[in-house]
Amino acid sequence: MKELEDRIRKDGRVLPGNILLVDSFLNQGLDARLMNQMALTWQEFYKDEPVTKIMTIEASGIALAVLTAYRFGVPALFAKKYATINLTDDRHQASVYSYTREKSYSIAVSRRLLTPDDHVLLVDDFLANGCAMAGLADLVREAGASVAGIGVAIEKSFQKGPDLLRERGLTICSLARIESLEEGRIVFGEADA
């Protein structure tokens, strides 16, 4: 998506450790107009899927999820993060490993809100190691529901997440694909839409 790539070139900042900071338009600062364009792009890409819900993980995916849900005319849903795993009967749960924090945390969603008849589009701002997205797919599977596909704003194709998810048979639509951030330079690959 050219408009997103242009914005990353203009306002993205590369920090040490292959970190791309987009907090002026995709996180903390939210460019609602640009995000709406992203939602429309996913709507076109997944137009043949009978999507019933848009799902993400708190907090940075929420804005993209709700704008996408508005465009699809379906509800959004976000999984909550918990530092520890407290098994309860009323929610679906999955474990996610964080490479940043070097420990696992738990994500969960109410059983009332995710049911076997759901066909879920998973969205998030970044796809890097893929652990959070794999956790969301685990929640959908635990609910007996199905994954319609994945919508990612920025894919870091040099990290293992994209391959890991595709090996699970999941379709990904990344709107910007970054092949390298070495030496502070942003190198784009070809995106899915």
CA-nearest of 61, 43, 48 to 135 is: 61
CB nearer to a copy of itself: pick between 54 and 165 = 54
d(C-alpha 183, C-alpha 65), whole Å = 32
What contacts 17, CB < 8 A, 6 or more positions away? none
107-166: contacts with a copy of itself (CB under 8 A): 109-110, 112-113
What contacts 55, CB < 8 A, 6 or more positions away? 65, 76, 77, 78, 79, 109, 114, 120, 121, 122, 123, 136, 139, 140
CB 12 within 8 A of CB 186: yes
Stretch that binds a copy of itself, among 1-9, 60-68, 133-141, 177-185 (CB under 8 A): 60-68
Smallest distance from a copy of itself to CB 155, Å? 22
Out of 3, 14, 49, 63, the only residue in the binding site for a copy of itself (CB under 8 A) is 63
Out of 9, 28, 85, 115, the only residue in the binding site for a copy of itself (CB under 8 A) is 28
Residue 37 is a binding residue for a copy of itself (CB under 8 A) = no
Radius of gyration of the chain (CA): 16
Residue 36 is a binding residue for a copy of itself (CB under 8 A) = yes
CB nearer to a copy of itself: pick between 69 and 137 = 69
Residue 25 is a binding residue for a copy of itself (CB under 8 A) = yes
Residue 86 is a binding residue for a copy of itself (CB under 8 A) = no
* Token duo for residue 105: 């945390």
Residue 70 is a binding residue for a copy of itself (CB under 8 A) = yes
Helices (H), 46-160: 62-72, 131-142
Residue 59 is a binding residue for a copy of itself (CB under 8 A) = yes
CB 77 within 8 A of CB 109: yes
Chain residues in the site for a copy of itself (CB under 8 A): 23-25, 28-33, 35-36, 58-59, 62-63, 65-67, 69-70, 73-78, 80, 109-110, 112-113
